[in-house]
Structure formats: C-alpha cells, structure tokens
C-alpha cells in the first residue's frame, strides 16, 4: 500500500512539474531574456540574406518587433519549410514566423496565431486603372504565367473579351508588365513585390485578391500564455499600423484585411 501511495505521489509531482513547465512558456522567455524565432532561410521578401550579409525581410522585421515588445534579445533561426514544425516541437525555437499557412493537418501538431502577413495571388495594375473585380478586366490586356493556379482562376473568372496572354515563366510575365506589353499583371504578391523592389517608382498597385493564403505564427502546443500574448501582439500591430508599414516596405502594398483565430 505504501509502495502504491509513493508511486501516486511521484506521478502527481511529475504531472504538476509538467503543467508548470507548460504554463511558464512565456514566463521562461522573459526570465531567460531571449526569444528564439524561426524565419525563412531564403524566401525573399519574407526572409533572406541581404546585401549587408544580415537576414532581412517581412518576417525578420516582425520577429524584431516581437523581441522588442517582449523586452528580450532576439535569436533568429533561419529555416527551410520542412524544419518549421520540427524545430518548434523540439524547442529549438519558441516561435515560427516563416511564411506559414494554417491548415487542419498542421493544427494537429502546433497552434497558430491570428494572421500577421498577406500571401495571395492577385491582379495588379497601374493606379490609373479602375479595377476591383474580374469583370473590370473587360477589354484589357492581362499577363499571367501559364498553367499556374493564378491562370486557372483567371480563366474561370475573367470576362470573354479580356485579352489574356499566357507566358512560359514568371520572369517573362513580369517583364511583359514592366515593358507595357500587358496592362494587368496576375501573379503572387511576392512576385509583384519584386517589381517594386527593383523599381520603387514603378506605378503598380493591388486591384483585387484572387486567392488568399495568409501567414500565421506557429506556437508550440501547450504554450497557451505565449499564444495569447502573440495574438495580442498581432492585434496591436494591426491597429497601430506597424504591420501595414512592414507590408508597404517589403511587399509594396497596403496590408489587406487578415483573418483572426
């Protein structure tokens, strides 16, 4: 009987210790004075090595803001896509800010914050064109990379008199827009952002979103305090305009409405 009682005591202590460890997720970061955040290793403009030799990009700026608001040192951990969830699960990082979409499969392994960044396919054109829906493409020349998801969606929604030209690769599609061969560019927002980066004076703006796949911050299961803090952080930076400034800086576009979880 004493032996059984001892085993129960040990089990209770173990469970309590585990619960304390999980509940102290945010407290541990604050106590350690360091937050480890995974960012894209090479996925511009969200994260890549810049001309200075330092990592830079949308996600890097968000990571810096997180560390600043926490009041701790930032340790950036560059990752490729397949490393994001394993690094979080094995405590090599505290958070994943790395162009990660949320889906039911991933949600079995980790938790997600509210969306912090836009990742989408859209229609882009100069500011003097009034375009807000697919029907507004009527009579306009439109460039898209053939066989892509953007091409499939455009084919379904564009009016019959839209003059669609399908190019063999993204480089040719982007070149067609900058050279004036087409009036409207249909592409991913990162591709459109590369044009703004190359020429900040280029007159290009998002007209409407074709397919939306926003980015979410990954948080380890059980770290509920940290998850709640991150959601407050995202809300605060949306309302305060900091995320919009980062979007303008790296994507060349205003921050669109983003979903909350």
Could you read off the pLDDT of 235-261 as tens digits, one per residue? 999 999 999 999 999 998 899 999 998
pTM above 0.85, yes or no: no
Please determine, for residue 14, whether its predicted confidence score (pLDDT) is greater than 50: no
Cα distance between residue 173 and residue 238, in whole Å? 32
- Residue 144's nearest CA partner among 112, 191, 108, 109 is 191
Cα distance between residue 50 and residue 16, in whole Å? 46
Cα distance between residue 215 and residue 52, in whole Å? 26
The answer to whether 210 and 152 have CB atoms below 8 angstroms apart is no
What superfamily would CATH give domain 28-119+213-251?
Answer: Periplasmic binding protein-like II (3.40.190.10)
The alpha carbon of 97 is separated from its chain's Cα centroid by a whole number of angstroms, namely 7
Cα distance between residue 233 and residue 113, in whole Å? 10
- pLDDT bin (cut points 50, 70, 90) of residue 149 is confident
Taking residues 21-36, report their average pLDDT: 80
pLDDT of residue 253: 86
Cα distance between residue 61 and residue 97, in whole Å? 10
Half-sphere exposure of 143 (CA within 13 A, CB side): 23
Please determine, for residue 2, whether its predicted confidence score (pLDDT) is greater than 90: no
Grouping H, G, I as helix, E, B as strand and the rest as coil, residue 217 is strand
How far apart, in Å, are the Cα atoms of 132 and each of 89, 180, 210? 42, 20, 11
Question: Which residues make up the CATH 3.40.190.10 domain(s) of the chain?
Answer: 28-119+213-251, 120-212
Q: How many CB atoms lie within 10 A of CB 39?
A: 30
- pLDDT bin (cut points 50, 70, 90) of residue 44 is confident
Residue matched to tokens 């394993």: 86
Q: Is CATH 3.40.190.10 what the domain over 120-212 is classified as, yes or no?
A: yes
Question: What pairs with residue 56 in β-bridges?
Answer: 48
């Amino acid at each position: 009987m004493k032996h059984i009682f001892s085993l129960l005591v040990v089990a209770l202590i173990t469970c309590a210790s585990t619960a304390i460890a999980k509940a102290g997720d945010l407290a541990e970061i604050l106590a350690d004075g360091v937050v480890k955040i995974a960012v894209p290793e090479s996925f511009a403009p969200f994260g890549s090595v810049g001309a200075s030799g330092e990592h830079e990009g949308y996600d890097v700026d968000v990571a810096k803001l997180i560390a600043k608001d926490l009041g701790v040192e930032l340790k950036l951990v560059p990752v490729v896509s397949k490393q994001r969830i394993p690094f979080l699960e094995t405590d090599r990082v505290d958070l994943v800010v790395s162009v990660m979409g949320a889906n039911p499969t991933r949600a079995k392994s980790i938790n997600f914050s509210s969306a912090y960044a836009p990742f989408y396919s859209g229609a882009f054109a100069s500011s003097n064109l009034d375009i807000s829906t697919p029907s507004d493409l009527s009579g306009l020349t439109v460039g898209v990379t053939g066989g892509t998801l953007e091409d499939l969606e455009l084919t379904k929604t564009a009016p019959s008199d839209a003059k669609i030209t399908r190019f063999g690769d993204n480089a040719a599609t982007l070149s067609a827009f900058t050279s004036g061969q087409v009036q409207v560019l249909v592409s991913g927002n990162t591709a459109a952002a590369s044009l703004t980066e190359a020429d900040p004076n280029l007159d290009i703006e998002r007209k409407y979103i074709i397919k939306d796949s926003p980015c979410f911050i990954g948080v380890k299961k059980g770290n509920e305090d940290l998850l709640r803090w991150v959601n407050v952080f995202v809300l605060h930076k949306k309302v305060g305009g900091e995320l919009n400034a980062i979007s303008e800086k790296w994507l060349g576009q205003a921050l669109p409405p983003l979903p909350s979880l």
